[in-house]
Every structure is written in C-alpha cells, then in structure tokens.
Amino acid sequence: MDEEKIKVSKSLLKTLTVDTRTDILKCLGNRQMTASELSRKLDKHVTTISEHLQNLKDSDLVERIERPGRKWVYYRLTKPGKDIIRPESHRWVFIISVTFICFIGGFYFATANSYPGDSLYGLKRTIEDLQLTITGDSLQRAQLHIYRANERLEETKELVQRGQTGYVPAIIKDYNKDITQARIEIQKSKQSEINVVPVLETLSESTAKQTAMLKNIAIKSPNVAGQIKPALNISEQEHATAVEELTGIAKKK
C-alpha cells in the first residue's frame, strides 16, 4: 500500500459494515445507475436504496449526477469510492480487515486471557494476524511482533502451570518466528533510515524479561526445559544484539 492510504474513520467503517452499501458500491463500479436501477438489481425497495445512497453520499463515496431537462438522477462513484473497490489495489481488503477487527473488538477482553485449547484462542490469533495485515509501517510491525512474542511466552507459562505441555513446542516455535520477524522489520526500518531506537529499547527490555521467564520455567518444570531451550537461545541472542546496537547508536551521538 502506498502513502495515499485511505483514512478509515469511524463513520466510514460504519458505512461499509452494511452489506447493501458495499453491494451498491460494487454495482456503481461498473457504471453509473439510478436508485430505481439499483433497487431492481439488488432486490431492495427503492426507499431503502435511497437511504443507503444518501449515507454513501455523506461519506463522499458516491455523488449525484443531475442533468438539466432530464428526469432521472444518476449516482456514480467518487474518487474515494473508486479507490475502495478498485481490484488492483489492496484497499478493499484493508477496509474489510479493519471493519472485521472493529466488529470483533468486543471480544478483545475475552480473548486476551485465552490460551491454546480454549474456545476463543483461535479468534485471539486471528485478531493478531489481522493487526499485522493492516499495519504497513515496519517499525510498528516490529513492535507488534515483539508484543506477540510476549504473548506466546505468557501462554507457555500458563500452559506449563496447567500441565498442558503438549502445546508448548508449537507455541515456542511461534515465539521464535515473531522474534525473528521483529528483527527483520527492524532491519527494514534501518535501511529506510528510520529511527529504530524506540523499538530496540522495547526489544532489549522484552527479551531480558523473556529470558528470565524462560529460565524460571525451566527451573520449576525441568520436563519442558528441552522444549523451551530454542526460545531461551534466541531471547538471549536478541537481547545481546539489541543492547550492542543501542550502545553503538549512543556512541555516534
């Protein structure tokens, strides 16, 4: 996605969460149409279509076309409306992703404390994945990966306490992926000459805590020490690397 990203306001999200309105946008993506034509096309009462058209007009997604001397009023997409449904862009996916997150946002507190094996755990991971999908900034993506890594270790700790160690290898694998991806996003930011100090500080602090947590788990539950060793290795390595980078940056100032 380029720098001309659509700015998704709460009112725009509310507009697009109604199926009929998205259907209208798709129809107008083919050609301009009257309210009556849309009514027949979508099998909705013309009054209902007119109300949705007014909402879309208020959101600057469609505009009225009135020609002097002609009876019919046509509607067509505005530039923002075309940008949303344009198939070659990823903006429609972007809008739907954000809208979906807003819909399920009410589940956040329920999913925040869910763990592998819990009914809402799949939804929790879906929310995390969608957050990454709609985040284009490499620095923010790095922060999200660090957050996800923290979550995976909190889950590991809880699973061990529950005695559900069968899930641990998979969670540790996901932890390693997120820490690795955080490093990749940091490198992208550095190549773009973006200030990476804030995310390096976050990585340094987080991996220090993660290392301590993993060591504590290994001491209290020796039976999983081998399973969590890969995570311990990468947390220690990334902590040392982050500290070294921060020290180097400080010396250059």
Residue 31 DSSP class: S
Domain 10-85 has CATH 2.40.110.10: no
- Report the pLDDT value the prediction gives residue 113, as an integer from 0 to 100: 78
- Give the model's pLDDT for residue 5: 42
- For residue 224, the model assigns a pLDDT of 95
Pairing of strands 33-34, 62-66: unpaired
**CA torsion through residues 120, 135, 97, 49, sign:** positive
User: H-type helices in 86-196, by residue range?
Assistant: 91-104, 108-112, 121-133, 138-162, 168-191
**What is the predicted pLDDT for the residue at 136?**
73
Residue numbers of the chain with a pLDDT score lower than 50: 1-10, 87-90, 104
pLDDT at position 250 is 87
Contacts 24+ apart (CB under 8 A), 221-226: 221/160, 221/165, 223/165, 224/160, 224/165, 224/168
Instruction: Return the pLDDT at 226.
Output: 95
Per-residue confidence (pLDDT) for residue 7, from 0 to 100: 44
Quick: pLDDT tens for 195-236: 999 999 999 999 999 999 999 999 999 999 999 999 999 999
On the 0-12 / 13-18 / 19+ scale of CB atoms within 10 A, 178 is buried
User: CA 107 from chain center: how many Å?
Assistant: 15
Residue 147: predicted pLDDT: 93
